[in-house]
């Protein structure tokens, strides 16, 4: 569908004297354009864009104008259109933040020609073996803390203990609603994490709490880099339900272990680990093994469908699938989701800006549901051709057999 960039180019810019390219980090890329033009100087850069997860896009220009009739907004819109032609995939699902940067230095065309103009793309950083190990350690330590809490609770049988979510700036991500002096100190999240605010996000626990009717299911969870805050919530939920065995199996996937991107084929990517729900320790061992063996994430594709199919091989009697998915990443094997014959309930992590339409289509096809931090989207199979759907203040259109994101002048980019 055609997209309008009116809202994006109309926001208030951030002003600075001059943008310094030397300040860019390893996970950032700049795309240069000439002063007052929308031409991409190095089109070959598209190869570096399409395999990564974009989290922020900034358009940099100079405030100076030679002619009073010059229309900067129109030029900015033309530059976005040029970027869209270069890398259409990043505009298919807009989850990234957007900013305008207006440089106030430069008082002539000659001065401005020497300054940077174009786009700065910030990607989600790839994890390293070290950071993956730290995230796995975090999950293992969380399990220890949960078992220690059992001992505390056993000594205080008359006290009510309900696991919810809470975030304390001094301590970190906490899992209880009622506080006692003898409560076990919660495990702090890894301090290297690129976005610490994710540890405040209670999407998974909220979704499980709102949907207690799910039963006899398989939990399928993405554990590539960046997903440890959500994996932690899966384990907290599992521990809270004690002897309740609604979840029969757990499946963890990392998109191919250490396999190179070029060698990853749909439904044959591997990196899928399955654990029967015998106890928390067994499940966490499978998750952390999967995490440590992973390639680290940072790519924009994952093997969700392959993981679901693999789980059903172990437990074909499941009534439904709970997929804990990374909203920022699409499915490598998306075209094969018609092979799934069980309802898939998708818990989307990181869907604050907008929902990845692939997961809406997956849920509709399987007669499942989609869940965000505050919404439950039901009966998607009843949506008819041409109907509009609003989820968390964002609009979607079902057209030509699939969902599309609808962008309007009301969109917020900051």
pLDDT of residue 235: 86
Using CA of residue 257, residue 130, residue 324, residue 301, what is the dihedral sign?
negative
Query: What's the mean pLDDT when you consider all of the chain?
Result: 85
pLDDT-derived band at 158 (thresholds 50, 70, 90) equals: very low
Write out the residue limits of the CATH 3.30.1330 domain(s) in the chain: 6-123
How does 380-396 read in b/e, with b if 16+ C-beta sit within 10 Å? beebeeeeebebeebbb
* Lowest-confidence segment of 21-25, 30-34, 179-183, 299-303 by average pLDDT: 179-183
pLDDT > 90? residue 165: no
pLDDT of 50: 76
pLDDT digits (tens, 9 = 90+) for 343-400: 999 999 989 889 999 999 999 999 999 999 989 999 999 999 999 999 998 999 999 9
Q: 6-123 architecture in CATH?
A: 2-Layer Sandwich (3.30)
- Is the CB of residue 223 less than 8 Å from the CB of residue 294? yes
Q: Give the residue from 294, 179, 291 showing the smallest Cα distance to 232.
A: 291
Percent of the chain with pLDDT over 70: 82
> CA-CA distance, 273 to 18, in Å (whole number)?
49
pLDDT tens for residues 227-262? 888 888 898 888 887 667 899 999 999 999 988 888
The predicted model gives 328-341 an average pLDDT of 96
Q: What is the pLDDT of residue 190?
A: 53
What is 9-25 written as a DSSP string? HTSPPEEES---GGG--
pLDDT of residue 24 exceeding 90, the answer is: yes
Q: First-to-last CA distance in the chain?
A: 23
What's the rounded mean pLDDT across residues 98-114?
A: 96
Rounded to an integer, the average pLDDT of 113-125 is 94
3-class DSSP state of 399: strand
Beta strands in 234-373 (DSSP E): 247-253, 272-276, 301-302, 320-326, 330-331, 344-349, 369-371
Q: Positive or negative CA dihedral for 361, 283, 228, 135?
A: negative
Number of Cβ atoms within 10 Å of the Cβ of 61 = 23
Per-residue pLDDT, 375:
95
CB crowding 260-286: b at 16 or more within 10 Å, else e: eeeebeeeebbbbbbbebeebeebbbb
Beta strands in 241-312, from DSSP E residues, in sequence order = 247-253, 272-276, 301-302
The region of weakest confidence among 199-203, 215-219, 352-356 is: 199-203
Predicted confidence band of residue 173 (pLDDT cuts 50, 70, 90): very low
| pLDDT value at residue 167 | 41
In whole angstroms, what is the distance from residue 17 CA to residue 15 CA? 7
DSSP letter at 380? Answer: G
Query: Element (H or E) spanning 388, and its range?
Result: strand 388-391
pLDDT band at residue 122 using 50, 70 and 90 as cut-offs: very high
């Amino acid at each position: 569908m055609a997209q309008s960039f009116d809202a994006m180019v109309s926001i208030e810019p951030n002003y600075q004297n001059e943008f310094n390219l030397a300040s860019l980090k390893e996970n950032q890329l700049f795309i240069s354009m000439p002063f007052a033009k929308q031409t991409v100087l190095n089109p070959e850069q598209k190869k570096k864009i399409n395999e990564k997860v974009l989290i922020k896009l900034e358009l940099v220009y100079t405030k100076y104008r030679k002619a009073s009739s010059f229309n900067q907004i129109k030029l900015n819109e033309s530059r976005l259109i040029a970027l869209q032609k270069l890398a259409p995939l990043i505009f298919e699902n807009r989850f990234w933040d957007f900013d305008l940067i207006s440089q106030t230095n430069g008082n002539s065309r000659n001065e401005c020609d020497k300054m940077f103009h174009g786009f700065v793309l910030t990607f989600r950083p790839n994890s390293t073996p070290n950071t993956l190990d730290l995230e796995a350690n975090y999950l293992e330590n969380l399990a220890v803390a949960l078992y220690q809490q059992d001992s505390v609770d056993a000594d205080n049988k008359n006290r009510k203990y309900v696991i919810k979510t809470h975030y304390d700036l001094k301590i970190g991500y906490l899992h209880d609603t009622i506080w006692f002096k003898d409560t076990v100190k919660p495990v702090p999240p890894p301090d290297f994490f690129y976005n610490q605010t994710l540890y405040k996000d209670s999407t998974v626990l909220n979704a499980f709490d709102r949907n207690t009717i799910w039963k006899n299911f398989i939990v399928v969870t993405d554990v590539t880099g960046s997903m440890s805050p959500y994996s932690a919530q899966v384990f907290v939920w599992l521990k809270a339900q004690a002897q309740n065995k609604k979840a029969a199996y757990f499946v963890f996937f990392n998109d191919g272990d250490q396999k190179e991107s070029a060698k990853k084929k749909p439904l044959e990517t591997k990196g899928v680990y399955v654990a029967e729900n015998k106890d928390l320790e067994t499940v966490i061992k499978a998750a952390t093994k999967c995490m440590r063996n992973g390639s680290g994430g940072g790519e924009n594709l994952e093997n969700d469908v392959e993981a679901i199919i693999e789980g059903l091989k172990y437990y074909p009697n499941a009534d439904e699938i709970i997929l804990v998915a990374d909203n920022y990443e699409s499915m490598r094997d998306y075209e094969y989701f018609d092979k799934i014959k069980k309802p898939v309930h998708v818990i989307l992590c990181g869907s604050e800006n907008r929902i990845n339409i692939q997961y809406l289509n997956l849920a509709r096809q399987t007669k499942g549901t989609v869940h965000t931090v505050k919404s439950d989207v039901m009966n998607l199979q009843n949506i008819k051709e041409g109907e509009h759907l609003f989820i968390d203040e964002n609009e979607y259109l079902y057209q030509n057999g699939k969902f599309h994101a609808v962008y309007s002048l009301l969109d917020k980019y900051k």
